[in-house]
Structure 1
């Protein structure tokens, strides 16, 4: 009697559910649908609501057929992202574009900014060689341009005047000692005047006129611009005083900084060019002159010095400059457009187009990045077709389905 009642109950349940219902259809009717977030698949709810993380409306997911048998563990990593099938009309509405994975060169190209600085190799400091007073000052303002040999000032120095007197005495002592000794003595006194900063032209004038000169001039040792002026007329000066600082701006330096990951790209002698906003349309070509030995601790950047010719003096000190440095290209690398790469912080991936509306996310390992292209070290092959636009929507759908499959799989195991 008890067996008959159990059989009768089972028959009634099958009749109520419909004779044509299979297990999946029965589950669809009697199990609640789940709602998942497209951007955060770990958020699963039993009823419609918003995602507590991003606020998006949760998407309803119906019960799907059980996933095929899991692949062996050694292939689990490769097949962890499901394949997505999209209808042709949806692909057209999405404006989905694809391209092929290519093999070629990647240019080691660095674009940075910097400022114009003077060439320290062309910098000269002018000091007096003896103590004295500035009797006449010809250069009264900084930023003035001067020529080599131009008179800067005239000074009176008792020490120089005493050396002149000794030189005149040596010239007049014609009968004492041998001619060799007299000439050696004269040369010694003449050299003493040179060491005190007296120019050769003034020494010859003293010898020619046979009399001393009270105010001795000091001439510019090179052409350039006066960027330092520390004296005034009438001042008492000593050898420790830096009277003038002169720099030749026919060649200049541009100081730039490069990022830490670009250190392997740069070396001395590489070609470089700069543009300055103050002079639009102009381009200056130069070279990498020096690479500094340490990084800036706060910015984690490396200072690099570029050298440029500036014959017309158009580049002014402290001008802002936009610099480009071109290194040797890295040849025969697998590369894709940078816009095709999906970077989440946990992984890097691209969407591979399999054909017939099927798409699959593939994790990749990237290398060098330059000029809108990314080197692919693993994960892709040459001529594979990848998605350029709309890949984030496809990746979100793949994550959603992967999460649901894990959810369903966990339920079955339970």
Structure 2
């Protein structure tokens, strides 16, 4: 029994000792077998921190710095990161922006839609008499105006009212022939004399009076052939007139014409019968509705416009000839077409672009062919599909950043086009207002191979020189007019209230593809 108890006690002591040894040795053994397990888990939990490539100004994408800071306008610089995986699947020109930067820039997007475009043509016109109802008064004989019943242009007349009396030897002779024919009672001579008087527009009442009493009138009175307003009075009492001369015109105001001018690019949209709306400044809130009456077949070579004749009812005579009017012509829709918001289109002289929103913070500028443009939409003829999303706000920065790596200039197998105008930072050294010139020091312009230097520039008439001051730092657009001829055609003063907003600048004829604001 004692032996059995000793064996049991030894087993218990050995079991306890083995458990204690295992508990003490397990961590060491585990670290020996897998020494890097905990480190790898810790490293896996840590995300790779990307370093920005550079920082740019939110309102000036060509203002770059290699560290955070403030832009010339006092705004925080925005970091730009390299896109994961190098070049994206969307091709050259794709840029990726972090979500917080997209939010800070206020980027808005809209879908490309396939729908009908109701085009409207806004233009101006002038009220005229309805020439279909305009009557010109011409004498058919030579003579003297013995009496003039109409004293001034604009006087109203009614049909049958006397206009003027004329003494003409030819009219006196024609009356005497009728009297002689009546005395001889020769019907053929009487008919011939009457026809001659009718041809000279002698009133029928006077012919009947001559046939009745046989007396010749020395002065003959002529009457208004219709009611209206005297438009053109070219005689005075006592004037001598010849056949064919215009002595006055009579027009009506019950219906008027309006002649408007339509630009050459919109001429194909105008057709006879299209509805027209007209307003005048002197009657705010009043609106007239009419229709296109005629489209003139020729183009004015100076203004490059086509004249369009419109017709309006004017029962209350509020429309006066010579008035200036604003006209809106509604053109019918021509089937469904691809449309984008007009503010999404970036126009830069010869080309137009939009910024595609590719998702996940990726954006890319693409060339598009633009057709018709109305107040809200632009027609896209090529370059987009119905499923695309385009940027409609703050696309200015995205377009400039995308253009640096885009394939716009690779379409000609390495041939790079030189722009006719560039934006560059400059300092005004001297103003020469009487010559519309400035002496300015500008930064280097890489696309023209220009170093930083000081030059004299002509200033375009469209630039307000009163906004310029000596010593002022600003951005200027320099345009090439010809060989060795350059001109400042636009200015951008950072922080000025007169500058356009970012959205407005994106749809104007400003191209910042080649802007070089220096370092």
Give the TM-score of the pair, scaled to structure 1.
Answer: 0.75
- Is the CA contact 1:151–1:218 (under 8 Å) kept in the aligned structure 2? yes
- Of residues 281, 287, 291, the one that matches 2:291 is 287
Unaligned runs of 5+ in 1: 1-24, 72-77, 175-181, 407-414
- Is the CA contact 2:69–2:77 (under 8 Å) kept in the aligned structure 1? no
What does residue 94 of structure 1 align with? Answer: 105
Distance 1:215 1:402, change over 3 A: closer
Summarize deviations over 1:217-253 as a string: whole Å, max 9, x none.
1111222221222222233333243222222233222
Distance 1:132 1:68, change over 3 A: closer
Matched residues in 2 for 1:62 and 1:141: separation? 77
What does residue 262 of structure 1 align with? Answer: 266
Give the TM-score of the pair, scaled to structure 2.
Answer: 0.61
2:326 is the alignment partner of 1:314: no
Summarize deviations over 1:367-402 as a string: whole Å, max 9, x none.
222232111223322243332222223333434576
Structure 2 SS opposite 1:169: helix
Matched residues in 2 for 1:199 and 1:290: separation? 36
Summarize deviations over 1:288-334 as a string: whole Å, max 9, x none.
22223332223222222222222332111211100111122121111
- Is the CA contact 1:155–1:216 (under 8 Å) kept in the aligned structure 2? yes
What does residue 92 of structure 2 align with? Answer: 80
What does residue 398 of structure 1 align with? Answer: 402
Q: Which moved more, 1:156-165 or 1:135-144?
A: 156-165
Describe how 1:243-262 pairs up with structure 2 within 5 A.
243-262=247-266
1:202 Cα deviation from its structure 2 partner: 1.3
Structure 1 SS opposite 2:181: helix
Matched residues in 1 for 2:76 and 2:350: separation? 23
Matched residues in 2 for 1:98 and 1:38: separation? 18
Matched residues in 2 for 1:402 and 1:56: separation? 30
Distance 1:273 1:171, change over 3 A: same
Distance 1:347 1:198, change over 3 A: closer
Matched residues in 1 for 2:78 and 2:328: separation? 52
Describe how 1:187-198 pairs up with structure 2 within 5 A.
187-198=191-202
What does residue 375 of structure 2 align with? Answer: 371
What does residue 180 of structure 2 align with? Answer: 169
- Is the CA contact 2:165–2:219 (under 8 Å) kept in the aligned structure 1? yes
Q: Relative contact order (alpha carbons < 8 A, sep ≥ 6): 1 or 2 greater? A: 1
- Is the CA contact 2:126–2:259 (under 8 Å) kept in the aligned structure 1? yes
Structure 2 SS opposite 1:364: strand
Matched residues in 1 for 2:171 and 2:85: separation? 103
1:261 Cα deviation from its structure 2 partner: 1.1
Matched residues in 2 for 1:118 and 1:59: separation? 64
Describe how 1:101-112 pairs up with structure 2 within 5 A.
101-112=112-123
Summarize deviations over 1:46-76 as a string: whole Å, max 9, x none.
999999xx999997989958964798xxxxx
Matched residues in 2 for 1:364 and 1:56: separation? 35
Matched residues in 2 for 1:44 and 1:282: separation? 55
Describe how 1:237-248 pairs up with structure 2 within 5 A.
237-248=241-252
Q: Which moved more, 1:343-352 or 1:332-341?
A: 343-352
Matched residues in 2 for 1:62 and 1:140: separation? 81
Summarize deviations over 1:93-136 as a string: whole Å, max 9, x none.
33332222211111131110121122333332222222233222
- Of residues 142, 145, 149, the one that matches 1:138 is 149
- Is the CA contact 2:136–2:246 (under 8 Å) kept in the aligned structure 1? yes
What does residue 189 of structure 2 align with? Answer: 185
2:344 is the alignment partner of 1:337: no
Structure 1 SS opposite 2:232: strand
Matched residues in 1 for 2:392 and 2:67: separation? 35
What does residue 153 of structure 1 align with? Answer: 164
Distance 1:220 1:236, change over 3 A: same
Matched residues in 2 for 1:343 and 1:311: separation? 46
Aligned residues: 359
Structure 1 SS opposite 2:335: strand
Unaligned runs of 5+ in 2: 1-47, 411-519
1:145 Cα deviation from its structure 2 partner: 0.9
What does residue 386 of structure 2 align with? Answer: 382
Matched residues in 2 for 1:392 and 1:124: separation? 60
Distance 1:80 1:129, change over 3 A: same
- Is the CA contact 1:147–1:222 (under 8 Å) kept in the aligned structure 2? yes
Matched residues in 2 for 1:401 and 1:37: separation? 18
